[in-house]
Amino acid sequence: MPELAPETRVTVNLLNKFGALTIDQIKKMYEGTRFNPKPMISFLCNSRIIQFLDDNYAVLQNRPQYSPETLYCLWVMLDKIKESNIARTDEIRSANPCDNGVEVCFINKAKMIEYIAFIDKNSISKVSMIQDTFYTSTGCKIGEEKDSRRLYTFVVNDEDVMDILAEMNLTIPFMVAYVEGPLTEVPSIEYYEL
């Protein structure tokens, strides 16, 4: 593989970690800068480093899997990083896929670990697992949650799921990101504390 420019390395690194990015997610990372990602995308395609699925999803060559749930979580992460050059932030470098029901985690400017998980009616049960994992992994007791320096963001695109989350009496530090719009465009995102 040829030596890649810093911006290109960031993009390829995210593709390697998360499986896919939409064209608009790549553009969002360089919003407010002079860097034009179009030549980079062309270079990556021509060098056979990436390929496109359904004309909208960039994936690494010969690794054509992607998760729509992870793409929703990446939109929320990009929205939460309030910088003009997202690609050069420590937050984007700290971003990693997770397990135990969480798609994305990163360390924000406040040095808090943010976990982002997509929740729909079919996966609502993983919220309890996430809460159990929180207490097991942090050693926190009920009432000590705020000291954990962790925040969970549950990404939903269905108001009924928000209602279910509100009724769950969760004790972990969390918020809900309600996402509207197609994955391939910058969605509307509203945040709620339930």
pLDDT tens, position by position, 157-167: 999 999 999 99
Structure tokens given for 72: 């929703």
What pLDDT was estimated at residue 1? 56
Q: What angle do CA 11, 15, 94 make, to 5 degrees?
A: 70
Q: Is the pLDDT of residue 98 over 80?
A: yes
Q: Is the pLDDT of residue 81 over 70?
A: yes
Q: How confident is the model at residue 68 (pLDDT cuts 50, 70, 90)?
A: very high
Residue 124 CA to residue 128 CA, distance in Å, equals: 8
Percent of the chain with pLDDT over 90: 75
Q: Is the pLDDT of residue 85 over 80?
A: no
Q: What are phi and psi of 71, to 5 degrees?
A: -65, -40
pLDDT tens figures, 104-155: 999 988 789 999 999 999 999 999 999 999 999 999 999 999 889 999 999 9
User: Which residues, in sequence order, are CB contacts of 131 under 8 Å at separation 6+?
Assistant: 170, 171, 172
Q: Is the pLDDT of residue 43 over 80?
A: yes
What pLDDT was estimated at residue 109? 83
How deeply is 101 buried, as exposed, middle or buried, from its count of CB atoms within 10 A (0-12, 13-18, 19+)? buried
Percent of the chain with pLDDT over 70: 99
What average pLDDT is seen over the chain?
92
What pLDDT was estimated at residue 128? 94
Structure tokens given for 65: 């899997």
User: Which residues, in sequence order, are CB contacts of 142 under 8 Å at separation 6+?
Assistant: 171
Residue with tokens 């810093």: 6
Instruction: Tell me, rounded to whole angstroms, the distance of Cα 55 from its chain centroid.
Output: 21
What pLDDT was estimated at residue 182? 92
Residue 175 CA to residue 134 CA, distance in Å, equals: 15
How deeply is 126 buried, as exposed, middle or buried, from its count of CB atoms within 10 A (0-12, 13-18, 19+)? middle
Q: Is the pLDDT of residue 4 over 90?
A: no
Query: Is the pTM here over 0.85, yes or no?
Result: yes
What pLDDT was estimated at residue 160? 97
What pLDDT was estimated at residue 2? 64
